[in-house]
Amino acid sequence: MEKKIKPSNGIDFNKCLHIIYGSRTGNSKSAAQLAEKYANHLGLDTCLLDMKTMNVSIMANIKNLLLVVSTHGEGDPPAVAQKFYNYLHHTHKASLNKLKFSVLALGDSSYKDYCKTGKDFEKQLKELGAQSIFPLVECDVDYEKNAKEWIEMAVNTFSNLLRPTKKAQDKLFSFNFHSNSTDEDTFQVIVKDKYLLTHPDSDKKTFHISLSSENLKLSYLPGDSIGIPCHNSRFLVDKLLKQLKYDGTYSIGEKGRIRLLKQVLIEDLELTLITPLVIKKYAELIKNDKLEQLISNQTELEQYCERHDILDLVTDFPSQLNHEQFLSILRPLKPRLYSVASSCLKYPNEVHLTLRLMKYSLHKRQYIGVSSSFLSDRIDSGESMPIYLEENISFRLPENKDTPIIMIGNGTGIAPYRAFLQERDHCQAKGDNWLIFGERSFKSNYLYKEEILDFKERGILTRLDTAFSQDQKDKIYVQDKIIEYGHDIYDWLINRKAVIYLCGSKRTMAKGVRESLLGIFCKEGQLSIQEANDLINELKMKKQWQEDVY
Ligand SMILES: Cc1cc2nc3c(=O)[nH]c(=O)nc-3n(C[C@H](O)[C@H](O)[C@H](O)COP(=O)(O)OP(=O)(O)OC[C@H]3O[C@@H](n4cnc5c(N)ncnc54)[C@H](O)[C@@H]3O)c2cc1C
Ligand SMILES: Cc1cc2nc3c(=O)[nH]c(=O)nc-3n(C[C@H](O)[C@H](O)[C@H](O)COP(=O)(O)O)c2cc1C
């Protein structure tokens, strides 16, 4: 017979359902809390644990587990879950063959590594011998529906297995999530100032935007981001309605909450960002051979998503869907994030942003980013708008003000570094600051040139290196500069224990910079690729390597 483990706090691990969550913005926490409520409703004993604070060694004793976790960065665990993730993936070696579990994986299907952390956990738990008793469920940004289904089914499965000792409650359980909605945290700011940072002739337009508020909520740290709720352009919605032959004045919803179709498309649903999941849902409804062919090839499907929007989808693969069917494939319109580009210490009651307007021509039409066009074209100085703060504890200045830092970025990746430099200047931090910044051309795209040169002149910036790709025959990018200064970078990192930061474009910069740094570690440290990769992981663990790429 199996031995009962009863620690001093009275938990009977054989009977208790443990619910462990890892969450950055609160969605996984809400789902885990609801799972606990439902399990208690059924009479189960539960123990809710946060990956951030839990004692990881308890895993050896847990027998029944619901694990709820989101994915962040580029397929990474949320920073608060990193310790638990590493423990389970690298430290815990003993078999978990007494453990029964199920995973709820939260994510966003517009990311390539959709729900990766949840999938990693499921795989690793299985490898350690644990038994999945209910299959992993993926949740997109509108996570509530899938999460509710998973909670009901997974908790019921455990309830049948554990046969609760307490009596289940008679009244019907209502699956209502505790609101962690951004609505509560959203507050109004005034657009104080907005101006172009790039040359007026440059086809790449980047703006400086300062927002002001007397609201006490406007207290942030460099590294944080601002979330901006946005609306689709009427122009795009009109074109979509025309293509679909829908009447925009058609009423949607129930009595008391009736809205026009056009209003719903403008305010609620994602039209410019398209994901493989959306296309698959559409394909299921329209049964089109060409579309089936596209979804059968994952690479082509991802490429289609990168270069097309909903209007393209319904134009390339026409259908006769009714309004309800069409709306059912769309995802909710999510706010966009922008790194804070200022220090609260230097600008109390203000927050600054560095915004690149997404506007480009392709397939004989023009594409305009929903949020960046709202900020650059549709809102003026003096007007008010809602924002919320998004904390990012994994992109932070070192607590020790003497620690040197290396800031690597391209384009709007300069934003958090402006905030870092303002903060370090204000605090009279003694640590050296090195900026390696890349853009297209010195003349047109040197963002915050005067300020940066002033930081350099005043010695706040100890070292400044730039890579303007189009200013010479052979293109030069930050990753090339990094190779050139490899010896110094290695010295700063390894001997002087500097913190290295990467911010900016995921597609163009981050990949190249990581490869360059790997090469430097191999060369300067005389390490094999495996050892250099281990070093990078070690630096990440020690928070000496931090990334915020998008
Ligand atoms: C943590 C974080 C911090 C960020 N900080 C900043 C910041 O400081 N400044 C900033 O400007 N942005 C920042 N961003 C990006 C920002 O959140 C938005 O993603 C960006 O402004 C685009 O949003 P949009 O609504 O204008 O475009 P969307 O309406 O979302 O359209 C973008 C779509 O255009 C496609 N696309 C983009 N370029 C091309 C192209 N050349 N050809 C074809 N298709 C293309 C993309 O694949 C995507 O599908 C940050 C993002 C994150 C996650
Ligand atoms: C900066 C950032 C990066 C993200 N990266 C990914 C990703 O790589 N893969 C994914 O599936 N979801 C990604 N997401 C989406 C989150 O996982 C999703 O919003 C989730 O609901 C958040 O849950 P949480 O509040 O519990 O952290 C990302 C979100 C943000 C803000």
Instruction: Give CA 309 to chain center in angstroms.
Output: 21
Model confidence at 529: pLDDT above 80: yes
- Domain match, 138 and 196 both: no
Smallest CA separation from ligand 1 atom 13, residue: 338
Determine contact, residues 23/39, Cβ cutoff 8 Å: no
Share of the chain above pLDDT 70, in %: 97
Among protein residues, the one whose CA lies closest to atom 53 of ligand 1 = 550
- Does residue 57 sit in helix, strand or coil? helix
Instruction: Tell which atom from ligand 2 comes closest to the C-alpha of 29.
Output: 26
Residues 190 and 208 in one domain: yes
Pocket test for ligand 2, best of 80, 106, 109, 336 (most atoms within 8 A of CB): 106
pTM above 0.75, yes or no: yes
**Cβ-contact 191, 383 below 8 angstroms:** yes
Q: What is the predicted pLDDT for the residue at 166?
A: 81
CA of 205 to the centre of ligand 1 (A): 13
Last residue of a domain, one of 286, 305, 329: 329
CATH number at residue 211: 2.40.30.10
Q: What's the rounded mean pLDDT across residues 455-465? A: 98
Looking at ligand 1, which atom is closest to the CA of residue 355? 11
Q: Nearest C-alpha to atom 26 of ligand 1 is from which residue?
A: 369
Q: Determine the distance separating the centroid of ligand 1 and the alpha carbon of 338, expressed in angstroms.
A: 9
Answer whether residue 173 is part of any domain. Answer: no
Pocket test for ligand 2, best of 111, 137, 502 (most atoms within 8 A of CB): 111
Is the domain of 27 the same as that of 130? yes
- Does the structure show a pLDDT above 70 at 277? yes
Average pLDDT over residues 335-363: 95
CATH number for the domain including 140?
A: 3.40.50.360
Q: Are residues 31 and 57 in the same domain?
A: yes
Test site for ligand 1: of 337, 447, 546, most ligand atoms within 8 A of the Cβ: 337
Q: Which atom of ligand 1 is nearest to the CA of 341?
A: 8
- Please report where in the chains the tokens 């940072």 appear, as a residue: 197
Does 107 contact ligand 2 (Cβ within 6 A)? yes
pLDDT for 216 equals 61
Of 281, 300, 329, which one is at a domain's C-terminal end? 329
E strands, 257-297, in order: 259-260
Residues 341 and 318 in one domain: no
Q: Which residues contact 479 (CB under 8 A, 6 or more apart)?
A: 509, 512, 513, 515, 516
Q: pLDDT digits over 80-121, tens only?
A: 999 999 999 999 999 999 999 999 999 999 999 999 999 999
Calculate how far, in angstroms, residue 369's C-alpha sits from the geometric centre of ligand 1. Answer: 7
Mean of all residue pLDDT scores within the chain = 94
End residue of a domain, out of 277, 303, 329? 329
462, pLDDT greater than 80: yes
Q: What CATH number does the domain containing 492 carry?
A: 3.40.50.80
pLDDT band at 255 (very low <50, low <70, confident <90, very high): confident
Residues 209, 60: one domain?
no
More confident residue, 509 or 4: 509
Distance 231 CA to ligand 1 centre (A): 15
CB of 371 closer than 6 angstroms to any ligand 2 atom = no
Pocket of ligand 1 (CB under 6 A): 225, 272-273, 306-307, 336-339, 354-356, 358, 360, 362, 369-372, 412, 415, 548, 550
Q: Cα of 15 to ligand 2 centre, how many Å?
A: 33
Q: Which domain holds residue 282?
A: 234-329
Nearest atom within ligand 1 for CA of residue 273? 49
Tokens of 430: 């003694």
Based on the fold, state whether residues 452 and 466 are members of the same structural domain: yes
User: In the numeric block, which tokens belong to residue 498?
Assistant: 């500097």
CA–CA dist 205, 197 (Å, integer): 8
Structure tokens at 130: 């644990």
Mean pLDDT, residues 539-547: 94
Residue 57 counted as domain residue = yes
- From ligand 1's centre to the CA of 486, what distance in Å? 31
Q: Choose which residue among 209, 331, 336, 508 to substitute to test ligand 1 binding: the one with the highest number of ligand atoms within 8 A of its C-beta.
A: 336
Pocket test for ligand 1, best of 312, 353, 372, 420 (most atoms within 8 A of CB): 372
The answer to whether residue 377 scores a pLDDT higher than 70 is: yes
Provide mean pLDDT across the span 9-38.
93
Q: Measuring from atom 24 of ligand 1, which residue has the nearest CA?
A: 369
Taking CA atoms only, the protein residue closest to ligand 2 atom 16 is 107
84 neighbors 56 (Cβ within 8 angstroms): yes
Would you say the CB of residue 486 lies under 6 angstroms from ligand 2? no
With respect to residue 79, please indicate whether it lies within any of the assigned structural domains: yes
Pocket flag, ligand 2, residue 64 (CB < 6 Å): no
Find the mean pLDDT for residues 23-32.
94
- Structure token digits, residue 532: 């250099």
Contacts of 503 (CB under 8 A, 6+ apart): 339, 395, 407, 408, 409, 413, 414, 415, 416, 417, 547, 548, 549
Number of folded domains that form the chain:
4
Cα–ligand 2 centroid distance for 81 (angstroms): 13
pLDDT at 182: 58
Give the Å distance between the CA of 27 and the centre of ligand 2.
Answer: 10
Cα of 393 vs centre of ligand 2, distance in Å, is 15
pLDDT band at 521 (very low <50, low <70, confident <90, very high): very high
Same domain, residue pair 271 and 239: yes
* Domain shared by 483 and 515, yes or no: yes
Residue 298 resides in a domain: yes
Q: Do 221 and 361 fall within a single domain?
A: yes
| 532 and 418 in a common domain | yes
Q: What is the DSSP string of 406-417?
A: EEEEEGGGGHHH
Give the per-residue pLDDT at 9.
Answer: 63
Measured distance CA(365)–CA(164) in Å, rounded: 61
**90 and 27 in one domain?**
yes
Tell me if 23 is assigned to some domain. Answer: yes
Q: Is 441 in the pocket of ligand 2 (CB under 6 A)?
A: no
Quick check: is 422 in a domain?
yes
| 10 is a domain residue | no
Query: What spacing in Å lies between the alpha carbon of 137 and ligand 1's midpoint?
Result: 28
CA 75 to centroid of ligand 2, rounded, Å: 8
Looking at the CA of 227, name the nearest ligand: 1
Task: Confirm whether 174 is domain-assigned.
Answer: no
72 CA to middle of ligand 2, Å? 4
HEC per residue, 99-129: CEEEEEEECCCCCCCCCHHHHHHHHHHHHCC
